[in-house]
Amino acid sequence: MSAVIRRPCLLILGSGFAAFGLLKRIDLRTYDVTVVSRRNHFLYTPLLASTAVGTVEFRTIIEPVRRSRPGARFLLGDAEAIDVDRRVVCCRSLEGDLAWEQPYDLLAVGVGAEGSTFGIPGVREHACCLKELADARVIRERVVAALERVALPGLDEAERRRMLHFVAVGAGPTGVRFAAELHDLLVTDLPRSYPDLVGLVRVTLLEAGPKMLSGYDAALRDYAAREFHRDGIAVRTDCAVSEVVPTGLRLQSGEQVPAGLVLWAAGFAPTRFVAGLPFARDRAGRLITDDHLRLPGQKEIFALGDCARPEGGELPQLAQVAEQQGNYLGKVLNRRRASRDSGPFVSKNVGISSCLGGGRAIVEAPGEGPKHTGAWAYQLWRSAVFTQLVSPRNKVLVPLDRLRAYVFGRDLSKF
């Protein structure tokens, strides 16, 4: 009688860039893989702002986890705690009514990070964030609701202007992208659908630091600032917010900024799950790992993506880093069964890019490599997006959605 060899259980927490990269690469003949995540899809965040204004449809930028890797088990839920001694993760259904313990032999924590409120009052209550599809949906509904309400007779001029003032706090890639997408919507669709409101809408980008897009080369930053100025997007640096209120926000200088919608896109914080783990974390709350992405003293637990930082290195919280770590860990684990070492994780900088709307972008190649602006950079940005989109379905749907928005306008229906 032949003995049945049990495959080690690999438990993956999360379904973002890091976890999905690992899931795609792991050898299912070697490991019995279970994924526990709060969402049953992978989300391509670089196009999230495009869905918030209807340039691209919500379902175009997601990949269902269950269908992406048949043979792996998926459980929709929240990881709440890790019991290291018993090698189980305590999980709970999203509704909160079912709790279970998920066993593991190897554990990969890829639960990402959350936006930081910096303890500023009113952010959670009154500002929108842009992290998940549900957030993009809320923003889209609020933008359309504001346009419809202002189109009604009877509102005074100050209230109309307040409601149509859209403010993004944080002039990093997310805030910039949101402002750019919103501006594209206003330029191309407002004259068609709300001709009376043209000229009333304003977009402002607020930044507490001295410059926008601080991770970029100075020449690219200046280009972005110039183009935004030309588009009428107000960029205000050195403007720290002290409170968000239902009708806008207040700056530390005491100035009141009336606004109809505030997008909070400033800073990162650990998720509640990560914040509660009994492992070493850095000042930003990220789990510290060794150069093989293992938690110190825990050979069987790995942490990757936005929720982690290899000791001694400073990696940006970017999709490319998370994805590379997922791919690396998949390779390490596949080789580990054959007792082959893969060496430490080394991040490969593939450059950064940001779309500025209006068919323009900025692209910065790694190191001293070339820097591109304008229409050519936009084509580079688009081809990078095309390459990164996972499935052939989405590679087809994204350009089709853009074409639809260009020819027929964005869908501004309220339902």
Residues that bind ligand FAD (CB under 6 A): 13-19, 36-39, 45-46, 48-49, 78-79, 110-112, 130-131, 173-174, 271, 273, 305-307, 317-320, 322
For the bound state, the minimum distance from the C-beta of residue 204 to ligand FAD, rounded and expressed in Å, comes to 18
Three-state DSSP at 408 gives helix
For the bound state, the minimum distance from the C-beta of residue 77 to ligand FAD, rounded and expressed in Å, comes to 7
Considering beta carbons, is residue 81 or 200 the nearer one to ligand FAD?
81
Nearest to 397 by CA among 138, 63, 131: 63
For the bound state, the minimum distance from the C-beta of residue 303 to ligand FAD, rounded and expressed in Å, comes to 10
Dist CA 228 CA 47 (whole Å): 20
Considering beta carbons, is residue 276 or 344 the nearer one to ligand FAD?
276
Considering beta carbons, is residue 14 or 248 the nearer one to ligand FAD?
14
Considering beta carbons, is residue 25 or 131 the nearer one to ligand FAD?
131
Considering beta carbons, is residue 108 or 239 the nearer one to ligand FAD?
108
| 303 and 109 Cβ atoms separated by less than 8 Å | yes
For the bound state, the minimum distance from the C-beta of residue 92 to ligand FAD, rounded and expressed in Å, comes to 9
For the bound state, the minimum distance from the C-beta of residue 5 to ligand FAD, rounded and expressed in Å, comes to 29
For the bound state, the minimum distance from the C-beta of residue 265 to ligand FAD, rounded and expressed in Å, comes to 7
DSSP string, 298-336: EEEEEE-GGGEEETT------HHHHHHHHHHHHHHHHHH
Interhelix angle for 17-25 vs 319-336, to 10°?
Answer: 30
Beta-carbon contacts of 351 under 8 Å, excluding residues fewer than 6 positions away, are 363, 364, 365, 366, 369
| 308 and 315 Cβ atoms separated by less than 8 Å | no
Q: Which residue is nearest to ligand FAD (CB)?
A: 16
| 398 and 58 Cβ atoms separated by less than 8 Å | no
Considering beta carbons, is residue 235 or 304 the nearer one to ligand FAD?
304
